[in-house]
Amino acid sequence: MPEDNTETVDPLPFGATLCRIRLTLEFESGGRLARYPGSAIRGLLGHGLRKTLCVTRQSTCNNCPLLTNCGYARFFESPAIGKNSSGRYSAMPHPWVLDLTHPTPRRVEAGDQLQFGITLLGEAANNLPWIVLALDHAGTLGFGGDRATFRLTRIEQESLPGNGRWQEIDRHALPRFDIDNDSLAPAPPAPDHVTISLQTPLRLKHHGKLVKAADFGMAIFLRALRLRLRELGRLYASPAESATLPEIPDDTEAALIDRRVTWQDWTRWSNRQKTHMQLGGLIGEIDVDLSLLEGWWPPLWQGQWLHMGKQTSMGLGQYRLLTSL
């Protein structure tokens, strides 16, 4: 009998398509990189996308007559318009997430490579050709204060989000690029215990204040994950769909076995606001007893590809699950 290559999948919890792309840059000149280069990558993408997509050449998107139909604004500014207008935000969560491999180098030389990923949600996958053009343009501008120039040498797509198998995309095929992923690779069997590794600063707010290490717990983490999944479903699923998620148990904190979390400061320069900004967050690990969190294993697994909290488009809020506790 022929081999059955059908792969078991899990539906996304919010009904949106999800496309994971991996990009490789090769530097043509050397220079220093920031501690978290996600801010620089986001800035280069934004500059390149605006250069290629903006037709009015206004200095800002404010009061632009094309705002509701502009590919740059919908992808990069995510204004609170249309179904975005919940009243909760002045700008909604972006339809994309930046993934960085850690640790990133602090200095690069000509010939060195930097690899990073972009997770595209819903119709944002249609922006991949524009992202490539934006990076081609950004490569001539260069990274950071040293302006380390680069070129985009490789574009890959994960065959099924979460399965770890990447296949190269021919840049010449980008005009015909199509994505039809409404599922993820299945989560492995739920372990009894899991370690949640916070790999980039996690910025969560509770009662209007940033959550610090002393106040961080499982209930806050699960509420933030629940909100993230529901918002993404409402915004980027077609049709809009609210994620069906388990309840948060009253004794959630009993599931927390150990917490090794600290606050890590991070300062970045904002070209838009012409000032340094403090964007610190929580880093570390928490050990969790999953037997007390019935039904939460699949959302926890799927949330790895979506990040949590503030500034996910810079790569913040990235966590991974370690099952060898």
Residue 158's DSSP bridge partners are 166
Q: Which residue has the higher pLDDT, 238 or 230?
A: 230
State yes or no: pLDDT of 91 exceeds 70: no
- State which of 137, 157, 183 marks the end of a domain: 183
pLDDT tens string 40-54: 898 888 888 888 888
Same domain, 156 and 216: no
- Give the total number of structural domains in the chain: 2
Is the confidence at residue 83, as pLDDT, over 50?
A: no
The answer to whether residue 177 is domain-embedded is yes
| CB contact at 8 A, 10 and 302 | yes
Task: Please give the residue that has the higher pLDDT: either 74 or 270.
Answer: 74
Q: What is the pLDDT of residue 231?
A: 84
Average pLDDT for the chain = 82
Residues 6+ apart with CB under 8 A from 259: 216, 217, 284, 286, 287
Q: What is the mean pLDDT of residues 211-218?
A: 93
Instruction: Let me know if residue 120 belongs to a domain.
Output: yes
The average pLDDT across 57-76 equals 80
For the ranges 19-23, 31-35, 179-183, 282-286, which has the lowest average pLDDT?
Answer: 179-183
Of 107-111, 122-126, 205-209, where does the model show the most confidence? Answer: 107-111
Least Cα distance to 235 among 110, 89, 99 occurs for 89
Q: Are residues 24 and 147 in the same domain?
A: yes
Amino acid 178 reads D
Instruction: Give me the pLDDT at residue 4, please.
Output: 35
By CB atoms closer than 10 A (0-12, 13-18, 19+), residue 23 is buried
Confidence (pLDDT) at 224: 94
For 262, the domain range is 185-322
Do 32 and 164 fall into the same domain? yes
- pLDDT tens string 131-146: 998 999 899 988 877 8
Peptide bond into 2 cis (omega under 30): no
Residue 133 shares a structural domain with residue 220: no
pLDDT score for 273: 58
* CB-count exposure of residue 47 (10 Å: 0-12, 13-18, 19+): middle
Q: What is the mean pLDDT of residues 69-78?
A: 78
- Rounded mean pLDDT, 195-210: 92
Q: Are 164 and 252 part of one and the same domain?
A: no
Confidence at residue 16, expressed as pLDDT on a 0 to 100 scale: 67
Higher pLDDT, 288 or 184: 288
Answer with the residue of higher pLDDT: 291 or 8: 291
Q: Are strands 319-322 and 267-270 parallel, antiparallel or unpaired?
A: unpaired
Q: Which residue has the higher pLDDT, 155 or 65?
A: 155
Residues 6+ apart with CB under 8 A from 18: 12, 119, 120, 121, 161, 181, 182, 184, 305
